Amino acid sequence: MTELRNYVDSSVEKVYKKMIQKQTLDYVLSMKNKYSTYPNIKMSIWKAIEKLNNIVDESDPDTEHPQIVHACQTGAFIFYVYLEKGSNKLNTNIKIKELFSKKEWNDLPICIKEDYERYCSLDVYYGYIKEWDWLPLIGFIHDLGKVLVLPEFGELEQWSVVGDTFPVGCKYTNKNLYYKKKYHKSNPDYIKYNCFNGIYELNCGFDNIHMSYGHDEYLSSVLKKNNTKLPNEAIYLIRYHSFYAWHNPKNSSIRGYTNLASMYDWKMLPLLKAFQKADLYSKVEKKPNIKEVKKIFGPLIKKYIGDEYLIW
């Protein structure tokens, strides 16, 4: 596990360098506006999933497999580790404290730590959620927004699709990757918005900020505009699963952007931490049987997303 997310490869760094330098507030707003109506493709989610066979994430140092492999592995990990066998209930043995490193846990705000300790496990903390079969489905489709690199979706460069995400329009925190390389100082927004809160109100909540544009932002918007039956927690995981400066800060137990986090974001943090472990630690060399995968995820897609075409 300690060998994962080892960002020493120069080709990976090139993707991040461009991302850090080019993801500005103006760029993000323009992309949100563009993809609110573009490409306006009618396509089933299975058709989109099949396209993951043609995509390799150049920013990921942990795997060189097509994204369909990682999708299957993440979904399977959640099924077998987080859900009760043969049930849509969450396992009762997922302790919140164990999702954090010891130093991370010690550095949590006291009131937040007390809240987590009061409920102890994920199933109790999120006791209002009665069905959890959407969670492995989110593991399966969480990177589907990477279709943005394909010609029919605009053929965006990898720096605008993959990698870690971060808020724009505010100070670039030292909890982000490659902060010490000072690439962010070449971003046009460095002087313009180089203050703590930037354009945002203190503790406004992540749903009220603009994140760097990429596969997370795109897929979460697609799922929302198609009025799927996925719960809000599912959309939250999609949008923020690459927000590592918050849920898994680099070389630090102090997470970034706490000044923008609301109590809802703290509430979602244990779930995001759990999902991050499934996303990261499911990357193995064994390739999945796609036919078996369809048997598993087909009913869940029908239940939460539907068999009809989605507007992309």
In a domain, 256, yes or no: yes
In a domain, 62, yes or no: yes
Q: So what's the pLDDT on residue 60?
A: 64
Q: So what's the pLDDT on residue 40?
A: 95
| Cβ 270 vs Cβ 99: under 8 Å | yes
Give the Cα separation of 132 and 90 in Å (integer). 6
In a domain, 153, yes or no: yes
> pTM for the whole thing?
0.92
Q: So what's the pLDDT on residue 282?
A: 47
In a domain, 29, yes or no: yes
Q: So what's the pLDDT on residue 307?
A: 81
In a domain, 4, yes or no: no
In a domain, 5, yes or no: no
Q: So what's the pLDDT on residue 57?
A: 78
In a domain, 41, yes or no: yes
Q: So what's the pLDDT on residue 56?
A: 81
Q: So what's the pLDDT on residue 1?
A: 39
In a domain, 80, yes or no: yes
Q: Is the dihedral of CA 93, 99, 103, 108 positive or negative?
A: negative
Name the residue range of residue 175's domain. 10-311
Q: So what's the pLDDT on residue 6?
A: 52
Q: In 10 A of CB 191, how many CB atoms?
A: 8
Looking at the structure of the chain, the number of domains it has is 1
Q: So what's the pLDDT on residue 243?
A: 98
Q: So what's the pLDDT on residue 11?
A: 85
Please give the chain's pLDDT, 312 residues, in tens.
345 445 566 788 999 999 999 999 999 999 999 999 999 999 999 999 888 888 887 876 545 667 788 888 899 899 999 999 999 999 999 999 999 999 999 999 999 999 999 999 999 999 999 999 999 999 999 999 999 999 999 999 999 999 999 999 999 999 999 999 999 999 999 999 989 999 999 999 999 999 999 999 999 999 999 999 999 999 999 999 999 999 998 767 789 999 999 999 999 999 999 999 987 754 455 666 777 778 889 999 999 999 889 999
Give the Cα separation of 189 and 186 in Å (integer). 8
Query: 42-43 and 310-311: which strand pairing?
Result: antiparallel
